[in-house]
Amino acid sequence: MTMDPAHGTIGGEETDQRDVQKNNFADLGDNSQPHQEPRRVNNDPRARPQKGNQPRRDRRDVHGWVVLDKPIGMTSTQAVAVLKRLFNAKRAGHAGTLDPLASGGLPIALGEATKTVPFVMDGRKRYQFTVCWGEERDTDDIEGRVTATSDQRPTREAILALLPRFTGVIEQVPPRYSAIKVQGERAYDLARDGEVVELAPRPVEIHHLTLVDQPDSDRAVFEAECGKGTYVRALARDMGRILGTYGHICALRRTLVGPFDENDMIPLDQLEALCDRAASGEGSLADALMPVETALDDIPALAVTRADAARLHRGQAVLLRGRDAPTSSGTVYVTVAGRLLALAEVGNGEIIPKRVFNLTGLTASSGRNERN
């Protein structure tokens, strides 16, 4: 687990929708759970297509983010499908895969929020993960085949002394079972076919790595905050080797994805309950949505007049004028009357629209416009 989650990227950036078929702890780091929870979601009729001649509801426009606290046993693809059905939404996608055996934050974009997915994917990720010492596995997680064993176990002092070596910008060799492409093929596909996959090291950034707990000599719990492309599985593998033993990920939980943290997560059963209340007229699914612009927290906002907004909405550039015109350049998100209008580039004295938003339909309720 991207600490990611599907295929072990600490952020899941290196994975795609096919990764979920691997069903491993690739990034068991996303929300470390030392035991496997029951896969109740797969038994939920909402989690799979219905048979029979049931009428199909017309999809509707729904715009916003839902940060699902994904349970163990559910694939990221299933999670997107479930939410798409709950909201009866036309479009949905996620911002960073989480393997079935990982839990934690899975940001799901609905409607126009899908245009902001890259900004979440490029953000920092935080994982809590458990490393089991004494075994190295071919997938670097709990579901792989054991390839080496050791009776040695690291002391707390040895682990603490090692952590600085894995902090900052480091060179990391991705796991053989990863979604990285080798001559047009996914590395994990080649590895499954028995081919020897040699992946080149690449720089990744780990902002911090701490030892959270050491419940016994066989296990250690860590927290890592890292940048795009970091593999938590590789982190466990490399630490084990340097400590004179072996290691693999045996639990993973993701607690931060870009601007979304644990305070933003909502469990599936709560979403289903909200859906049931909304169907009976006792609430609104808008209460579960976070605004599209939540994904743009690190980008400056620029307010424009209604006249300028009309030009930008047509895809036309707008000249910057007046003493209140911004002096900086780069990407901004543009608002009109407090409402998100477009992603744009500011430079050479003008605003150039790049992505225009059409937020007609169901959006976040006013109460979700302010972050807790």
Distance of alpha carbon 101 from alpha carbon 22, whole angstroms: 10
Q: Which is more confidently placed, 250 or 27? A: 250
pLDDT of residue 32: 34
Average pLDDT over residues 19-25: 35
Q: Is 371 a residue whose pLDDT tops 90?
A: no
Whether 130 and 30 have beta carbons less than 8 Å apart is answered as no
Best-predicted range by mean pLDDT (118-122, 157-161, 268-272): 157-161
- The CA distances from residue 344 to 115, 300, 334, in Å, are 13, 11, 7
Q: Is 2 a residue whose pLDDT tops 50?
A: no
pLDDT of residue 255: 96
Q: Tens digit of pLDDT for each residue in 61-85?
A: 999 999 999 999 898 899 999 999 9
3-state secondary structure 231-268: EHHHHHHHHHHHCCCCEEEEEEEEEEECCEEHHHEEEH
Q: State the maximum Cα–Cα separation within the chain, in Å, rounded to a whole number.
A: 72
First to last CA, the chain: 28
Average pLDDT over residues 20-32: 35
Q: Is 217 a residue whose pLDDT tops 70?
A: yes
pLDDT classification of 249: cutoffs 50, 70, 90: very high
**Half-sphere exposure for 118 (CA within 13 Å, toward CB):** 4
Q: Which is more confidently placed, 28 or 137? A: 137
Q: Is 9 a residue whose pLDDT tops 60?
A: no
Q: Is 126 a residue whose pLDDT tops 60?
A: yes
Identify the CA nearest to 204 among candidates 187, 228, 180.
Answer: 228
Secondary structure tally for the chain: helices H, strands E: 7, 19
Distance of alpha carbon 31 from alpha carbon 127, whole angstroms: 6
3-state secondary structure 92-150: EEECCCCCCCCEEEEEEEEHHHHHHHHHHHCCCEEEEEEEEECEEECCCECCCCEEEEC
Query: The tokens of 143 are what?
Result: 């579901």
Distance of alpha carbon 103 from alpha carbon 95, whole angstroms: 14
- The CA distances from residue 221 to 157, 175, 241, 273, 274, in Å, are 14, 20, 17, 33, 34
- Among 27, 30, 99, 308, the one annotated catalytic: 99
3-state secondary structure 262-319: HHHEEEHHHHHHHHHHHHCCCCCHHHHCECHHHHHCCCCEEECCHHHHHHHHCCCCEE
Q: Pairing mode, if any, of strands 168-172 and 125-133?
A: unpaired
Whether 258 and 122 have beta carbons less than 8 Å apart is answered as yes
pLDDT of residue 35: 34
pLDDT of residue 203: 95
pLDDT of residue 219: 97
Q: Tens digit of pLDDT for each residue in 290-345?
A: 999 999 988 999 999 999 999 999 999 998 876 556 666 799 999 999 999 999 99
pLDDT classification of 367: cutoffs 50, 70, 90: low
DSSP-derived letter for residue 71 is P
pLDDT classification of 14: cutoffs 50, 70, 90: very low
Beta-carbon contacts of residue 179 (< 8 Å; ≥ 6 apart): 6, 7, 9, 14, 15, 16, 18, 19, 186, 187, 188
Query: The tokens of 110 are what?
Result: 């609905």
Distance of alpha carbon 270 from alpha carbon 51, whole angstroms: 26
Is 99 marked active-site? yes
Distance of alpha carbon 30 from alpha carbon 351, whole angstroms: 39
Whether 297 and 259 have beta carbons less than 8 Å apart is answered as yes
Average pLDDT over residues 34-57: 43
Per the document, the length of the chain is 372
Lowest mean pLDDT of 38-52, 60-74, 122-136, 280-294, name the range: 38-52
Q: Is 8 a residue whose pLDDT tops 50?
A: no
Phi, psi of 291, deg, nearest 5? -60, 150
pLDDT classification of 261: cutoffs 50, 70, 90: very high
pLDDT classification of 15: cutoffs 50, 70, 90: very low
Per cent of the chain over pLDDT 90 is 57
Best-predicted range by mean pLDDT (86-100, 191-205, 207-221, 270-284): 207-221
Q: Is 46 a residue whose pLDDT tops 50?
A: no
Q: Tens digit of pLDDT for each residue in 163-209?
A: 999 999 999 999 888 778 887 788 878 888 778 778 889 999 999 99
What is the average pLDDT score of the chain? Answer: 82
Query: The tokens of 231 are what?
Result: 């593999």
